[in-house]
Amino acid sequence: MKKTYILSLFLSIGTFLILSHVLFQLTSYLHPVVLVVVWFCIYMFYLISLLLIRKESIQLSYSLFLTFILFYTIGLLILLFLRPNDQSYDSINLIPFSTIAFYLSGKVDFLISLYNLAANIGLFLPYGILLRVNRASLLKIIIVPFAGITAIELLQFFTHRGSLDIDDLLLNLLGIYVGCWLFPLFRKIVKIPSL
């Protein structure tokens, strides 16, 4: 098991270094903590992949799981709200799929499009898993994410730390629901005794 952690660490650092030039360009307008979040996501990708390949699992207490979610949330809030002041965040898009269509139109560099769409989905996966770990009802799985992400979008707009975009809401919700869908895979590799 220790080999899996070490191998994941080396693979994630190597991948991060190889992609660093591109990552620095893609994230230059964001708080530097985004690079830590990106590296952590790469590390988790390798760790999960190796755990599945080797048919290993991690024992994790519920409180430790919540601690990981708390630190992840702090990192995400820094990413969402502590942005450089030299940018304008006054745009509003209330037309569903228009921003997504713009990114997919080919008018934007492919890597920028991929990063923006994938980040809006991928960064919210853990919250879908959290909902399933807590055995949330279907009603909570629908209402809580919608209310939470709507609040984030409005706060970003009113604090001038992000634009108000319905497509961000849709992509973030998709991320949460993909996280819910991936929960059976999560349970294969993460064993929480209280579940």
Q: Which helix (H) or strand (E) holds 191?
A: strand 190-191
* Alpha-carbon gap, residue 5 to 195, rounded angstroms: 24
Residue 85 — very low, low, confident or very high, per pLDDT cuts 50/70/90? Answer: low
pTM: 0.88
pLDDT at 112: 83
pLDDT at residue 110, as a whole number: 85
Q: What is the mean pLDDT of residues 118-146?
A: 94
Strand 190-191 with 58-59, pairing: parallel
Q: 9: Cβ–Cβ under 8 A, 6 or more apart, which residues?
A: 43
The residue to which tokens 């939470």 are assigned: 148
pLDDT score of 162: 82
- pLDDT at residue 195, rounded to an integer: 60
How far is residue 91 from each of residues 24, 95, 96, 120, 192, measured CA to CA in Å? 24, 12, 14, 17, 43
- Predicted confidence (pLDDT) at residue 88 exceeds the cutoff of 80: no
Query: Which SS3 state, helix, strand or coil, does residue 31 take?
Result: coil
Is the pLDDT confidence value at 6 over 70?
yes
Kindly state the average pLDDT of the residues 131-143: 94
Which is it for strands 92-93 and 58-59: parallel, antiparallel or unpaired?
A: unpaired
* 3-state secondary structure at position 30: coil
Q: Residues near 139 by Cβ (< 8 Å), separated by ≥ 6?
A: none
Q: Provide the pLDDT for residue 86.
A: 64
Structure-token match 């690079």, residue found? 35
Average pLDDT over the chain reads: 90
Distance CA 150, CA 75 (A): 19
Q: Encode pLDDT of 36-68 as tens digits.
A: 888 988 999 999 999 999 999 999 999 999 999
Could you tell me the CA-to-CA distances from 182 to 133, 162, 188 in Å, in that order?
12, 29, 10
Q: Which pair of structure tokens corresponds to residue 12?
A: 């994630």
State the sign of the Cα–Cα–Cα–Cα dihedral 64, 155, 121, 14.
negative
Query: Tokens representing 159?
Result: 């604090």
